[in-house]
Amino acid sequence: MTEQQQTIDVNRGDPAYRAWLKEAVRKVQADANRSADTHLLLFPLPERWGIDLYLKDESTHPTGSLKHRLARSLFLYGLCNGWIRPGKPVIEASSGSTAVSEAYFAKLIGVPFIAVMPRTTSPAKCRLIEFHGGSCHFVDDPRRMYEESATLAAETGGHYMDQFTYAERATDWRGNNNIAESIYQQLRLERYPEPAWIVATAGTGGTSATVARYVRYMQYDTMICVPDPENSCFFDGWTRRDPQACSERGSRIEGIGRPRMEPSFVTGAIDRMMKVPDAASIAAVRVLERTIGRKAGGSTGTGLWSALRIVSEMVAEGRKGSVVTLICDPGDRYLDKYYSDDWLAAQGIDITPYTATVEDFLRTGRWPA
């Protein structure tokens, strides 16, 4: 064997690629450095209850949803793992919000972006993806999003980002100004700085996993509740401890509720789950607008409904404290859905009894049995 044959050296560290990578990571980090934190708003409750309800307003991120945090983390993870390459597309399976944020980051670093989404995704979100230079690829059956994304990646030589697998691990759950650390920082001067409950809905499950892990890591007593919409298997899978749980139809509450137990949905970290009717989510989000003057998406209503039920239990027990939930994205993306009475009628959704439940509760402190 010659000396040359003894040394086997495969060098993939092309200097031009490393220079591109460095610049791409700098651009993503610089975007974070230019961004301000999101507000923690108060939802007014009767003073006599001694309970404070907060909404972490994630709709104020540059791309309008809590997915801005996730997209940043996924891009850094994909870049640093060598998965995202110059000139090659990033592909994502999404119900829309993640794709809007990822299209923004793809444009920032100059790679093409393709969103694979259910055909029922709101047109406003599709327009935003295209506004940020991405393209939309629709599937009729939401359960086919994953396969279709993997196929597109194989055909184009691109990278399938796969938020449903990587959301929980791409985010730094120990801190680094993740959503949980930010909430606790912002509660520091409040009368109840350690919330009794944090309520987070689940699409990938990444947000609830990050919040729950941070709470445990910091040794807080806060409990984590994940409310789940209709047509999602998360509630059944969590209740029955069944990782094979599935559902036949897609969720009507965009962004949350999944037909399969997603890898990022970390069941062991969740203290409680609640099944919330879609009509209740929509009633709650409309009450939110009348109460604080802001329109939000359907998943915000799912979280708010659940948070108000928890507040009602605290009132009944005479317990004081604070509860936190999230404004996940803005309502102007859903004017022809959750804010359209025609859409509600076409879906056979009657929000009247749920609206009465919330309004009566806010007046009397009693939640119907």
Show Cβ contacts of residue 66 under 8 Å, excluding neighbours closer than 6 positions.
Answer: 58, 97, 179, 207, 326, 328, 329
Q: Output 149 or 201, the one with its CB closest to ligand PLP.
A: 201
Can you list the alpha helix ranges (DSSP code H) found in the chain?
A: 3-6, 15-34, 67-80, 97-109, 123-131, 145-156, 163-170, 179-186, 206-217, 234-239, 278-292, 298-317, 341-347, 352-364
Q: In the structure encoding, which two tokens stand for residue 27, read together? A: 């651009």
8 A C-beta contact, residue 201 and residue 230: no
Q: How far is the CB of 288 from ligand PLP (least distance, A)?
A: 14
| Radius of gyration for the alpha carbons in the chain, expressed in angstroms and rounded | 22
Q: How far is the CB of 336 from ligand PLP (least distance, A)?
A: 16
Q: How far is the CB of 206 from ligand PLP (least distance, A)?
A: 4
Q: How far is the CB of 97 from ligand PLP (least distance, A)?
A: 3
Q: How far is the CB of 258 from ligand PLP (least distance, A)?
A: 9
Q: Is 115 helix (H, G, I), strand (E, B) or coil?
A: strand
Q: DSSP per residue over 22-79, as a string?
A: HHHHHHHHHHHHHPPPPPEEEE---GGG-EEEEEEEGGGSTTSSTHHHHHHHHHHHHH
Q: Output 45 or 304, the one with its CB closest to ligand PLP.
A: 304
User: Could you give the count of Cα atoms lying within 13 Å of 199 in the half-sphere of its Cβ?
Assistant: 29
Show Cβ contacts of residue 6 under 8 Å, excluding neighbours closer than 6 positions.
Answer: none
Q: Output 161 or 202, the one with its CB closest to ligand PLP.
A: 202
Q: How far is the CB of 98 from ligand PLP (least distance, A)?
A: 5
Q: How far is the CB of 108 from ligand PLP (least distance, A)?
A: 20
Enclosing H/E stretch for 232: none
Euclidean distance between CA atoms 119 and 272, whole angstroms: 32
Q: Output 38 or 201, the one with its CB closest to ligand PLP.
A: 201
Q: Output 69 or 309, the one with its CB closest to ligand PLP.
A: 69
Binding residues (CB under 6 A) for ligand PLP: these are: 65-67, 95, 97-98, 167, 201-207, 255-256, 297, 299, 328-329
